[in-house]
Structure 1
Amino acid sequence: MRLVWFRNDLRLSDNPALRHGCASDEPVAALFIISPTQWRQHKMAPIRQRFILAQVDALGRELAALGIQLHLLRVETFAEVPAALADLCRELGVTQLYANQAIELDEQRRDHAVTAALAEQEVGCHWLNGCCVLPPGRVLTGGREMFKVFTPFSRAWLKALDEDGFVIHRAPAPLGDSLPWQPLAERAFVDEGLGELTPDPRWPVGEAEALRRLHAFLEQGVLGYGETRDFPALAGTSILSPYLAAGIVSPRQCVAALQQRLGGRPQSKAQPGFVWLNELIWREFYRHLLVLIPTLSMNRPFKPETAALPWSWDPDAFAAWCEGRTGYPIVDAAMRCLNATGWMHNRLRMIVASFLTKDLHIHWRLGEDYFMSRLIDGDLAANNGGWQWAAGTGADAAPYFRVFNPTTQGQRFDPQGEFIRTWVSELADLPATHVHQPHDWLRLKGRQDYPAPMVDHAVARVRAIEMFRDLEKQ
């Protein structure tokens, strides 16, 4: 018996572990492990948990139609997984385990422990690359080190992809008669106070839905992506991040579909489609960093010297940021959107992260954790990479003097205030000429229903830059 262990790769197509697991005449079973306590420790958002479990339900039905039974185990923490998995392998008579490589440190430690535990039962473990187009470690400098700045990584990644190429593997053919599948909603051990297991209707599960969104974006949006992607009031992005984070669609499928749409792979900013491809390469960059620099999974900065920065931990200021009460309309609209929907536009992620770290001078770790606790597309590599980039502690060529002005960012990327008025009800009736700096207008109307700015941005910006300059002097 061969066992395929699904994790953040909840799909049949382009799944190396499933493909290799089904590559012989041996019978095949599948596994998904639910770890509620570990998920909470990793700050996994309830909306993301519901999304994942709903996809597991869909995957279980699809596997059953292929004659593959998906087994579910509830194992509270990663530390308990090796013993539980060894018991299941013994019960099923498993001789080979197949899984796609995990990139996070806790997950890697769990997998090393699984390998050791199953070796005692003479069960072979096979760990494959299912999370990246190119495996971590493939794209290195001439000195065989990981790139520390994105642009040279992007160039080297494109060159390596040209050299290596890649193949998209189809879903396996049926291995036997269709099997019954008991929906997760009928299994009491799954319930963890998450409510209905069906996800938010804005995020339907299923490989077919992920591929539909991918192809719709490539047909309708990819050519204008460079011009529309930064405007949150527009439908200018692919909206694929939850599906990529859960592995419902693979990055290889995205690159292959882009190539098919354009008749080739773009190689520079001057070519159509390259801006979106570069976003996929950013995703690869942060994932490769997480594997090759394990301390990133341990709440430590990419630049070790920045651990000495005098960050604030002010709980009241942090709460105001979390709840969208900063007095800066674009920041408040973004945070209220996140709290209500579990998703945030990428430009807004940069704006609110810059505001927390450079205007409020609050530690990026608080923002990183809060995002993970709310985002349907919460992904450690991308989330950590983005927060450290914004905070000036991460992989960036010239980080410390980058401080976003929240007012001018709003004026530039939400010029008519459409996004702001959608999410900040106090400003819904303001004209576009005042929505980004509403306080004088509100004062003239005798209104006090929207908070005053928490800080003076000009003063806060100077302080942020001084923090980094003082650090350089030490």
Structure 2
Amino acid sequence: MRQLIWLRSDLRVHDNRALGAAMAAGPTLALYLPSPGQWRAHDDAACKVDFWLRNLTELSHSLARLGVPLLIRQVERWDEAPAAFARLCREQDIVQVHVNDEYGVHESRRDAAVEAELKAQGIGLQRHLDQLLFAPGSLLTRAGTCFQVFGQFRRACQQRLAGNLPAVAGLPAAQPQPGIAGDAVPAAVEGFAAPPESLRRLWPAGEEAAQRRLHEFAENRLAAYAEARDFPAEPGTSRLSPYLAAGVLSPRQCLHAALQAAGGDFDRPGVSAWLDELLWREFYKHVLVGYPRVSMGRAFLAETEALPWRDAPEELAAWQQGRTGFPLVDAAMRQLLASGWMHNRLRMVVAMFLTKNLLIDWRHGERWFMRHLIDGDLAANNGGWQWSASTGTDAVPYFRLFNPLAQSRKFDPDGRFIRQWLPELEGLDRRDIHAPAGLLRPAGYPPPIVELPFSRERALAAFKALPRRG
């Protein structure tokens, strides 16, 4: 009764629902399908692909210790997956395939096609809830619809979690060696350049590294999270998002680590704020299922499709490269290019600057982020961009615009973050570094590409002109 686990965004052996179920059912093999054409179509970043492969290498060693060989079968795109499964299951006499659910439209279509092919061969496909605390569709409004407002969704989650925390599964017991050799994990995939070693060092691979980072944060920095998380020069955030996106950590592990550090108190300072961030990730995946259009390049609020977005390629390029003349925006964009990651508050600042101050379509920003983020996740990235652009579920009111200068003075008051990423401004004092003007602006640093008061009024006028629902 040989089983197969199809690994996707669940690159760990601890608390892996599909792996545990497969190994409990019989001798188990593991499969990973590199899909470079699909990854390019989804704008996955080269640093993200490298991170996946590095984690997959670490995972292959952990699986080997459990007696589970890891097989690699590369397909160009997901529409080739059913045929690849048909061949492998015949070769290895597989009777059941186990997967942890994924939630985008393309992912759902891929899994349905694979399931149909397997069914035609008399092979079952068993789905497991793994990357979420609650199955989509299990938390609904009183009207029986998917939540559109995070606050309501959060309350429903908290009511479910009270006294009923989802358990963290232990490590499966090792199985006898099946006599099948595992495949070598490729060090790279064609079409995705290797990132610099300086970036790789920021994000060590493997469950042990992820667990060390989780527990260091929970024990030493979680209590101050609510106060420190908005200051990009401070180590106030967990920086666990790449590990969650790749499934090297589970949300259950994060939940339990936080509550253990807080003595089980949801309301302990820092804990509730950080759990909210985990629930935002959950919320946006539920939205993907409830409103599939958001994963197909469409705005959730249909009326915002009529916004007169500007075609401004030079301004878009300046934003992408960190050359807008607004130091906090530029420092954030250069952090993204160099590290594959951006501080969460700055993601909101740069997104509002692009969509409101420059009035450039949010989809350009969403795509640029996905092409550079090591933690790129369809649901979280799309949800964040549509929130900032006032086009999505629970969107920020269109008249709320983050002023990048005010944000800079408030959250980087001494300019430490700006100096780290804009060394050309290093000589400016804490007053002038937020908006270097005239003779204070160093040679080579650009003047502001837009006037903030004008751009604010332009954005407000564009939103006010939209037809209102109802």
State the TM-score, normalizing by the size of structure 1: 0.95
Q: Which residue of 2 aligns with 1:405?
A: 403
Q: Which residue of 2 aligns with 1:274?
A: 272
Which residue identity lines up with residue 222 of structure 2 in the other structure? V
On the 8 A contact 1:266/1:272 being kept in 2, the answer is no
On the 8 A contact 1:6/1:31 being kept in 2, the answer is yes
Superposition deviation, residue 161 in structure 1: 2.0
Superposition deviation, residue 191 in structure 1: 4.8
Superposition deviation, residue 262 in structure 1: 1.1
Counterparts in 2 of 1:306-317, with a 5 A limit? 306-317=304-315
Q: Which residue of 2 aligns with 1:75?
A: 75
On the 8 A contact 1:51/1:197 being kept in 2, the answer is no
On the 8 A contact 2:315/2:358 being kept in 1, the answer is yes
Counterparts in 2 of 1:61-210, with a 5 A limit? 61-162=61-162, 164-177=164-177, 183-185=184-186, 190-195=189-194, 200-210=200-210
Which residue identity lines up with residue 263 of structure 1 in the other structure? G
Which residue identity lines up with residue 326 of structure 2 in the other structure? Y
On the 8 A contact 1:32/1:70 being kept in 2, the answer is yes
Structure 1 residue 371 corresponds to structure 2 residue 366: no
On the 8 A contact 2:36/2:190 being kept in 1, the answer is no
Q: Which residue of 1 aligns with 2:426?
A: 428
Supply the distance in 1 between the matched residues of 2:185 and 2:191 (Cα, whole angstroms).
Answer: 12
Supply the distance in 1 between the matched residues of 2:256 and 2:163 (Cα, whole angstroms).
Answer: 15
1:99-144 deviation digits (Å, cap 9, x = unpaired): 0001111011000000101101000001111111111112211111
Residue 219 of structure 1 aligns to a residue whose secondary structure is helix
Residue 419 of structure 1 aligns to a residue whose secondary structure is helix
Question: 4+ runs of 1 displaced by more than 6 Å?
Answer: 196-199
1:291-337 deviation digits (Å, cap 9, x = unpaired): 11111110011111111111123211100100011010000000011
Supply the distance in 2 between the matched residues of 1:398 and 1:370 (Cα, whole angstroms).
Answer: 21
Superposition deviation, residue 165 in structure 1: 2.9
Q: Which residue of 1 aligns with 2:337?
A: 339
Superposition deviation, residue 193 in structure 1: 4.9
Supply the distance in 1 between the matched residues of 2:347 and 2:92 (Cα, whole angstroms).
Answer: 46
On the 8 A contact 1:140/1:146 being kept in 2, the answer is yes
Residue 227 of structure 1 aligns to a residue whose secondary structure is helix
Which residue identity lines up with residue 60 of structure 1 in the other structure? S
Supply the distance in 2 between the matched residues of 1:448 and 1:192 (Cα, whole angstroms).
Answer: 37
1:271-290 deviation digits (Å, cap 9, x = unpaired): 55111111111111111111
Supply the distance in 1 between the matched residues of 2:398 and 2:413 (Cα, whole angstroms).
Answer: 27
Superposition deviation, residue 414 in structure 1: 0.5
Residue 4 of structure 1 aligns to a residue whose secondary structure is strand
On the 8 A contact 1:61/1:181 being kept in 2, the answer is no
Which residue identity lines up with residue 73 of structure 1 in the other structure? R
Residue 71 of structure 2 aligns to a residue whose secondary structure is strand
Supply the distance in 2 between the matched residues of 1:159 and 1:395 (Cα, whole angstroms).
Answer: 22
Supply the distance in 2 between the matched residues of 1:282 and 1:234 (Cα, whole angstroms).
Answer: 22
Supply the distance in 1 between the matched residues of 2:354 and 2:190 (Cα, whole angstroms).
Answer: 35
* Aligned residue pairs, count: 466
User: Which stretch shifts more, 168-177 or 88-97?
Assistant: 168-177
Q: Which residue of 1 aligns with 2:464?
A: 469
1:29-72 deviation digits (Å, cap 9, x = unpaired): 00010000110110000000000011111111111111111110
Superposition deviation, residue 182 in structure 1: 5.4
Alignment CA distance shift 1:3-1:177 (3 Å): closer
Counterparts in 2 of 1:347-362, with a 5 A limit? 347-362=345-360
Superposition deviation, residue 423 in structure 1: 0.8
On the 8 A contact 1:132/1:284 being kept in 2, the answer is yes
Which residue identity lines up with residue 381 of structure 2 in the other structure? N
Q: Which residue of 2 aligns with 1:393?
A: 391
Superposition deviation, residue 429 in structure 1: 1.2
Alignment CA distance shift 1:135-1:70 (3 Å): same
Q: Which residue of 1 aligns with 2:23?
A: 22
Q: Which residue of 2 aligns with 1:40?
A: 40
Alignment CA distance shift 1:254-1:290 (3 Å): same
Q: Which residue of 2 aligns with 1:239?
A: 239
Residue 202 of structure 2 aligns to a residue whose secondary structure is coil
RMSD of aligned Cα (Å): 1.8
Supply the distance in 2 between the matched residues of 1:470 and 1:435 (Cα, whole angstroms).
Answer: 36
On the 8 A contact 2:387/2:395 being kept in 1, the answer is no
Alignment CA distance shift 1:163-1:135 (3 Å): farther
On the 8 A contact 2:225/2:237 being kept in 1, the answer is yes
Q: Which residue of 2 aligns with 1:455?
A: 450
Supply the distance in 1 between the matched residues of 2:321 and 2:63 (Cα, whole angstroms).
Answer: 42
Which residue identity lines up with residue 27 of structure 2 in the other structure? P
Supply the distance in 2 between the matched residues of 1:251 and 1:113 (Cα, whole angstroms).
Answer: 28
Alignment CA distance shift 1:473-1:125 (3 Å): closer
Q: Which residue of 2 aligns with 1:56?
A: 56
Superposition deviation, residue 473 in structure 1: 5.9
Residue 29 of structure 1 aligns to a residue whose secondary structure is strand
Alignment CA distance shift 1:181-1:111 (3 Å): closer
User: Which stretch shifts more, 40-49 or 460-469?
Assistant: 460-469
Residue 374 of structure 1 aligns to a residue whose secondary structure is coil
Residue 158 of structure 1 aligns to a residue whose secondary structure is helix
Which residue identity lines up with residue 457 of structure 1 in the other structure? L
Which residue identity lines up with residue 285 of structure 1 in the other structure? F
On the 8 A contact 1:54/1:197 being kept in 2, the answer is no
Residue 200 of structure 1 aligns to a residue whose secondary structure is helix
Supply the distance in 1 between the matched residues of 2:196 and 2:70 (Cα, whole angstroms).
Answer: 17
Structure 1: runs of 5+ lacking an equivalent: none
Supply the distance in 2 between the matched residues of 1:433 and 1:102 (Cα, whole angstroms).
Answer: 48
User: Which stretch shifts more, 164-173 or 374-383?
Assistant: 164-173
Supply the distance in 1 between the matched residues of 2:222 and 2:435 (Cα, whole angstroms).
Answer: 33
Supply the distance in 2 between the matched residues of 1:38 and 1:450 (Cα, whole angstroms).
Answer: 38
Which residue identity lines up with residue 311 of structure 1 in the other structure? W
User: Which stretch shifts more, 306-315 or 397-406?
Assistant: 397-406
State the TM-score, normalizing by the size of structure 2: 0.96
